[in-house]
Amino acid sequence: MTTKTGGSNGGYRVVGTSPIKQDGLGKVTGKARFGADVHLPGMLHGKILRSPHVHARIKSIDTGKAEAHSDVKAVVTSADLFPTPLAGRQIVQGQTVSENVLARDKVYYKGHAVAAIAATSPHVAEELLSLIEVEYEPLPFVSDIEEAMRADAPVLHEHWDLIEGPREDLEVRGNVAAHEHHRFGDVEKGMAEADLVMEREYRTKLVHQGYIEPHAATAWWVQDGHLSIWCTSQGHFAVRDNVARLLGIPVSDISVVPMEVGGGFGGKLAFYLEPVASALSRKSGHPVKMTMSQTEVFEASGPTPGSYVKMKMGVTKEGRITAAQAFIALEAGAFPGAPLDNACASTLVPYNIENIQVDGYDVVNNKPKTQAYRAPGVPVVSFAGECLVDEIAEKLGLDPIEFRLRNAAGEGSRRVDGVKHGRIGAKDVMEAVEAHPHYVAPVDGRNRGRGVGMGFCRNNSGTSCAIANVNPNGTVNLVEGSVDLSGTRVVVAQQLAEVLGLPAEAVSAQVGDTDTIGYTSATGGSGVAFKTGWAVYEAGQDIIRQMVQRAALMWETPEGQVRYVGGTVQHMSDTELRLTFREIAETMEETGGTIVGKANLNPPGASGSYTANIADVEVDPETGKVDILRYTAFQDAGTAIHPAYVEGQMQGGSSQGIGWALNEEYFIGEEGWMTNSSFLDYRIPTIADLPMIDPVIVEVPNPGHPFGVRGVGEASIPAPLATLANAVYRATGVRIYELPLSSASILKAIKDSSGGHQR
């Protein structure tokens, strides 16, 4: 059952309600069309030949036998892509380099795409891949992030300039793609003022986003040179722009149609199949569809980075943080682009720390290029920070929430990257935890413990476009450019309905393709409700201006004498003159034609969301198995536009965080590749593993948005990692500094620790 604290609904009529999901019927009846549901006349099927090696030089690729086979209609290699060599070290998240789409000179991980063919069926295409002959020269590989940073590690990209010199106890050299440094205050002085200084090391493994729908794309390059793409993606404009870059054609020659997305969580910001299918279509003259298998998804699409974090904190005996320092290394995989900026900027962000330094490193190694996953980079730094805070609070004899409240960030304090906080909800969330019945309830029984932890997502904005067409019956058809991953069509429709004073069901929203709607940045960073919500707010204001003009024309009065209130146009002097939204809509043709509201903008003012979790666990001392007995999730949603969806995001993100904390990891064997590349072996939580997650929505409206919106999609995943680690400690007496907290790792820690005990 959802509990809401704070907020007063702002006097809204539609915002703050939970209308029925408009696209729900199609999804539950199977009529909704996803990426693999495209069927075109004469369509071929494409398959990719992937590297069996973790690291190897490509000496030659012979496609002659494949091209000579009657069932093979086209073959492509990296030579068919427009050359786009890796320029510099840092690659924008989601902008996959061409060498990752199809390897050029080297392969960098098992599953790296090398070549592709198109045939009349997917089975024939897969079978005939063996006709492509590739000669490899195997090379030494490095899979461990700490080993990759050492001076004697195999270097993946020999052409890079080396970054010389040691950092802490790890030598930073040729596999480091980027170094991000933030510092303010006097860290040394702050540490000297502390009564207690504690330093710990934390490690996490690669984990996958776990979306159920594999990557899929269909491309049709027709004779006039126009390319159409249907795909499952979080950003169809990004697909258009990057395919244009990789194929060397204008964006105006490409149309991308977004399909429904069966889960993304950041993993579908990148693209893998679209340029390959397009190149195959150009060569064959037929539309070409490509779909990954689940094994390909695991081995050849981007998981989220593994990490090594060293964190140090100084505190006074009264519990005031005097200084903090962090060393963060994130796995980028084969090519640069780990979410370093997000991780660094979010380090210890729930707290006001006047002296702080963070150094972050983007490290390449022989694994798939990592990608975003729900608050990219934040879970690993939250795991480290919240475990360290918890351990320090215990050492000082302070309640863990009281310690956090004494150091809570607030309006006017700064993040480590220098950003000054506006109105934020860190303290409000902490106070909600402290006052909740779960927090004060006793933890009864042996081998049981309770943990708490904070989470955060800084949230983003971006370019967004919306077009609202008024219908003669008083309804509105809304076209917007943000791919819907989690019900955002309804959320933006609610905001337009609120502006216009209409019921939610009067606004029908759909996502336009790249030819239908103006450029809109990708669905990510928990930005859609904010940026596209603001776009529809402005589109609604545009409609209101036109409604006022029409009424003034009909009443032969100045526009200044007409106002729009709650779905009705009123004359300010003559109260008898009043027209409803529908009445004006019915007269559109007679008063000037269709009313269309439109807006395109890149709004500032996005503000971070804070979360917290409470978890009660029981640990079996004989097996190390963790059972979650009770779980409560808190989140500052700003204004909860659709409370039921906010609840779903909180529960979904918490579930993924629970999997990250307890079960999930890429098992990398001695040969350097993933050995558990199926959902049978890669253990995401099922309903049997999860408790009922009780959501508590805290509302601290964001003053930077017309409706007080803060993003809610990502902040829910960081908190579970440390929350469960802290709970397991209190159940066992053993602190574990590496995830996942698998049964084997817990049992080993209990047996290895002289301080282990049963409670």
For 284-293, 355-364, 750-759, which range has the lowest pLDDT when averaged over its residues?
Answer: 750-759
SS (H, E, C) 278-343: HHHHHHHCCCEEEECCHHHHHHHCCCECCEEEEEEEEECCCCCEEEEEEEEEEEEECCCCCCHHHH
pTM here is 0.95
User: What pLDDT is recorded for position 2?
Assistant: 54
pLDDT over 80 (residue 564): yes
Report residue 165's pLDDT band, with 50, 70 and 90 as the boundaries. Answer: very low
pLDDT tens figures, 285-304: 999 999 999 999 999 999 99
Closest to 689 in 3D by CA, of 640, 643, 655, 736: 655
pLDDT over 90 (residue 324): yes
Q: Which residue has the tokens 């309640």?
A: 399
Q: Where are the domains of the chain?
A: 464-601
Region 468-485: mean pLDDT is 98
Backbone angles phi, psi at 184, to 5 degrees: -150, 160
The DSSP annotation for 48-108 comes to EEE-SSSSEEEEEEE-HHHHHSTTEEEEE-GGGSPP----SS---TT---HHHHS-SSEE-
User: What pLDDT is recorded for position 158?
Assistant: 85
User: What pLDDT is recorded for position 159?
Assistant: 75
End-to-end CA distance of the chain: 30
CA dist list (Å): 559 to 474, 546, 548, 552, 584: 22, 10, 7, 5, 15
CA dist 149 and 627 (Å) reads 37
Q: Which residue has the tokens 């009264």?
A: 318
Fold held by 464-601: Aldehyde Oxidoreductase; domain 4 (3.30.365)
Region 621-647: mean pLDDT is 97
User: What pLDDT is recorded for position 167?
Assistant: 46
pLDDT tens figures, 707-737: 999 999 999 999 999 999 999 999 999 999 9
Q: Which residue has the tokens 């150094």?
A: 359
How many degrees, rounded to 5, is the angle at CA 488 between CA 264 and CA 690? 55
pLDDT tens figures, 342-358: 999 999 999 999 999 99
For 78-87, 265-274, 593-602, which range has the lowest pLDDT when averaged over its residues?
Answer: 78-87
**Chain centroid to CA 707: how far?**
23
Q: Which residue has the tokens 């002659």?
A: 64
Report residue 3's pLDDT band, with 50, 70 and 90 as the boundaries. Answer: low
User: What pLDDT is recorded for position 21?
Assistant: 86
Report residue 86's pLDDT band, with 50, 70 and 90 as the boundaries. Answer: very low
Report residue 659's pLDDT band, with 50, 70 and 90 as the boundaries. Answer: very high
Backbone angles phi, psi at 330, to 5 degrees: -115, 140
User: What pLDDT is recorded for position 754?
Assistant: 63
CA dist 701 and 402 (Å) reads 24
pLDDT over 70 (residue 490): yes
Q: Contact 478/509 with Cβ under 8 angstroms?
A: yes
Gyration radius from the chain CA atoms: 27
Report residue 219's pLDDT band, with 50, 70 and 90 as the boundaries. Answer: very high
What is the torsional sign of CA 639, 642, 645, 647?
positive
3-state secondary structure of 327: strand
CA dist 430 and 5 (Å) reads 12
pLDDT tens figures, 16-25: 999 998 888 9
Q: How many CA atoms lie within 13 A of 35 on its CB side?
A: 28
CA dist 541 and 597 (Å) reads 8
Residue spans of beta strands (DSSP E) within 663-720: 693-699
CB 508: neighbour CB atoms within 10 A? 15
Q: What is the DSSP letter of 561?
A: G
Higher-confidence residue: 4 or 361? Answer: 361
pLDDT tens figures, 91-122: 433 345 788 999 999 999 999 999 999 999 99
Q: Which residues does 644 contact at the CB level (< 8 Å), separation at least 6?
A: 2, 18
CA dist list (Å): 557 to 487, 547, 585, 592, 681: 42, 14, 19, 16, 72
Q: pLDDT averaged over the chain? A: 94
Here the tokens at position 719 are: 């908190």
- Rounded to 10°, the helix 378-396/719-732 angle is 40
pLDDT tens figures, 386-416: 999 999 999 999 999 999 999 999 999 999 9
Region 438-452: mean pLDDT is 97
User: What pLDDT is recorded for position 6?
Assistant: 58
